[in-house]
Amino acid sequence: MRVEFTVNGEPVAIDGHPMERLLDVVRERLGATGTKEGCGEGECGACTVLLDGRPVLSCLVPLVQCAGRTVETVEALAAGPARALVERLVATGGVQCGACTPGIVVTAWALLSDHPAPSRDEVREALAGNLCRCTGYEGIVRALAVESEPQAPARPAEAPDRSAGRSSPPAASAASSPARPGRPAPSEAARSATTERLRG
């Protein structure tokens, strides 16, 4: 059976079994090896591609379902519109071993196309089907979410300096400061011994 469709902007015609996996077609026939096979059962998300702009698991998509449609793999996205996204993932520690990264990039790009400013919860929901064993997801979420960094609480306003015009007492040096009650001040010999131990 011949199936004609578009992959990364190029028209292709594939002769094969109608149930051949899209994953095998893009990797073995078209050389788009950025798409990874993880579980082969639709559980890990490593093989995610875009089919007519929507993320799908290519290990579960038969060739026949691609007729007349458009497929985009991570190669086309990372080299073009998603390049900045890939750079953010690297900067935030969202890329480590890299096995899951192609699927995450494709899924994240689909999310950002629909929601340019997603919340942390929206990011986590979108990536629920993409397994990552290395990063713990936080670096990935930081690269995508608007409120990726917790906001620091506002500092209270400082009280006005009411001593303006008054002369401040001189700061006491460590040598002239009185010892704390109940603790004798260290002798000069004790200070010298401590200094020598630190130097040694």
* Among 65, 70, 63, 20, CA closest to 49: 70
Residue 165 lies in a domain: no
Number of neighbours of residue 61 by Cβ within 10 angstroms:
21
* Among 91, 186, 76, 84, CA closest to 135: 91
Into how many domains does the chain fold?
Answer: 1
Going by the DSSP 8-state scheme, the letter that residue 65 receives in this structure is G
pLDDT in tens, the chain (200 residues): 999 999 999 999 999 999 999 999 999 999 999 999 999 999 999 999 999 999 999 999 999 999 999 999 999 999 999 999 999 999 999 999 999 999 999 999 999 999 999 999 999 999 999 999 999 999 999 999 986 554 444 454 455 555 555 544 444 444 444 444 444 444 555 445 444 444 44
Residue 138 lies in a domain: yes
Distance between CA atoms of 162 and 152, rounded to whole angstroms? Answer: 29
Q: What is the CATH number of the domain that holds 118?
A: 3.10.20.30
Residue 176 lies in a domain: no
Residue 61 lies in a domain: yes
The range of the structural domain enclosing residue 14 comes to: 2-144
Parallel, antiparallel, or unpaired for β 48-51 and 10-15?
Answer: unpaired
What pLDDT is stored for residue 146 in this prediction? 81
**92-104: b or e for each residue (b if 16 or more CB lie within 10 Å)?**
bebbeeebbbbbb
Spatial CB neighbours of 79, under 8 Å, sequence gap ≥ 6: none
Residue 152 lies in a domain: no
Residue 184 lies in a domain: no
Residue 94 lies in a domain: yes
